[in-house]
Each structure stands twice: as C-alpha cells, then as structure tokens.
Amino acid sequence: MVTVSCLPVVHGVPELLIPLILPGAALVAGVLAVRTPVVLTHGRRIWLWLKVVGPGLALCCLVIGVFAVVGVRSRETWVASDFRATASNSYVQGRLEGRPHELWIRVGEGQPVLIDRQRMIEVVDWSPDSRTLVYIVDEVDATILKAARAADGWRATEICELPPGVSPGRAPSYVWSPSAEKLAMDWGHHFRVRVVSLRSRRCETVHEGSIRHFWWVDDQRVAVMDDNGKVTVADVAD
C-alpha cells in the first residue's frame, strides 16, 4: 500500500490551520502583555507578573500547537491504494487514513478536498467528463443518492432517495447520458430502470419488467431491451 502525506482542505480551508488558532491567539496575548501598560490595584506587582508569565504561557501554547500540527499531519494521510480515478486521471477519489466514512477527492497533484461526512459511503462513479462524482450514503432512515460537481465547487448535493432494497454495497447498474447530466440506473436489480437528472434532481421510472440491456439513444431518450428482445424507448427530457 502506498501512502502520501498531505495537507487536507475542507472546501478551500486547510485543516492544518485549525490547531494554530489557539496558540497564535495566546502568542498575541503574550506580546500584548509585555508591550501594553496595565494599571490595576497592585500596580507594579501585576505588571511584573504579566511580563514573566505572559510570554511563557504563550510559548507553551505555541509548542502545544506545533505538536498538534504534527499529530494532524501524521493522521491525515492519503491512502493511495484505496482510490477511484477518472478516465483522464485528472481527479482521484479516495480516503484519508483514520477517516473511513469520509469522502475526499484529490485534483491532480493538489491537496485533498473533503466532499462529505456520512455513514457507509459507496462511490458509484465519475461522469465521463470527469466533472461529477456520484455516490450513495446511508442515513438514519433512508439511502440517498448524492453528487459532487466541479461547477459547484465540489459541494455535496442530494439528488434523490433510493428505493427500498438499494443500499451501499449493492450499487445499481447505470449508464451516463451523452451530456453527463443524467443517469439511467437499474435500481430494481434487473427489474426497473429509472432515470435521474443531476441538473433538475428529478427521478422517474422509465421501465418495469425484465431487463437485458439499456442505453441512451441521445440525451433526451433512453432505450431498454427486455429478455424477449423487445426494445422500448422512453422520452426523458427535462
């Protein structure tokens, strides 16, 4: 297994900055304690105490922050053996060691970006244009199909709720439309074909019965062949 150390990013904000906030504030407070006159009841005694203790406290907090940074860097390790790349290898979906239920992506050689925090995430696939990642999450009382798109800054978007019997670990068969804006999915395990529009977030059933094969005629029509060889074409225009 190959691992790569990395600096995680949560929608553009490096998580490594978080442990630096407290020691940074303490350091500023220590500097102000030394440089700013303080007039209190005991006057000089309080002033001398601040001059000695203030910088020391700030230094201790800074050391704690450094150890926190080292801890974050050692924990947030990109596991390169657990990934799914796009066709062009421009984007890679994977996970960070110690965070099995979080969905991250890495853009080229850039830093990983957190997409979602959910229980039992199952990645369906990237779109052919490598600009959309579709995945399934298992929530408390429902199984949800979600998508993250480059055009939306890779923020998770709920598309629709999956029917009973479809759950992570039992991902449906699917075919992308030519524009990569829709998915034709066999959610009934060779019994029902539904079309999901990622743009309008509409889900509709286009075929019920036996299924041998299904494909897109164009971006507005999907064809399904049953076990008897009969082909039906459904109009799925938004």
Please list the helix, strand and coil fractions of the chain in percent, rounded to the nearest 5, in that order: 25, 40, 35
Dist. CA 33–CA 197, nearest whole Å: 60
Decide: helix, strand or coil at residue 183: strand
Class of domain 172-238 as given by CATH:
mainly beta
Q: Check residue 221 and give its pLDDT.
A: 93
Q: What confidence score (pLDDT) does residue 135 get?
A: 83
**Residue 142, pLDDT score:** 77
- Residue 99 is predicted with a pLDDT of 63
Q: Provide the CB-side half-sphere exposure for 204 (13 A, CA).
A: 12
Query: Residues of 23-54 as b/e, b for ≥16 C-beta within 10 angstroms?
Result: beebbeebeebeeeeeeeeeeeeebeebeeeb
Among 173, 187, 174, 182, smallest CA distance to 220 is for: 182
The beta-strand segments (E) located in the chain are 3-5, 9-10, 13-14, 77-85, 91-96, 99-107, 112-117, 122-126, 132-138, 143-149, 156-161, 173-176, 182-186, 192-197, 203-208, 213-218, 221-225, 231-235
Tens of pLDDT, residue by residue, the chain (238 residues): 333 334 444 444 455 555 556 566 666 666 655 555 555 445 555 555 566 666 666 666 666 666 555 554 444 555 544 455 565 555 666 655 556 667 777 766 667 777 887 766 776 678 887 788 888 887 777 778 888 888 888 888 888 887 666 655 555 678 889 988 898 988 656 678 889 888 888 888 888 888 888 999 998 999 999 888 899 999 988 7
> In this structure, are residues 214 and 195 in contact, taking their beta carbons and an 8 Å threshold?
no
pLDDT at position 2 is: 34
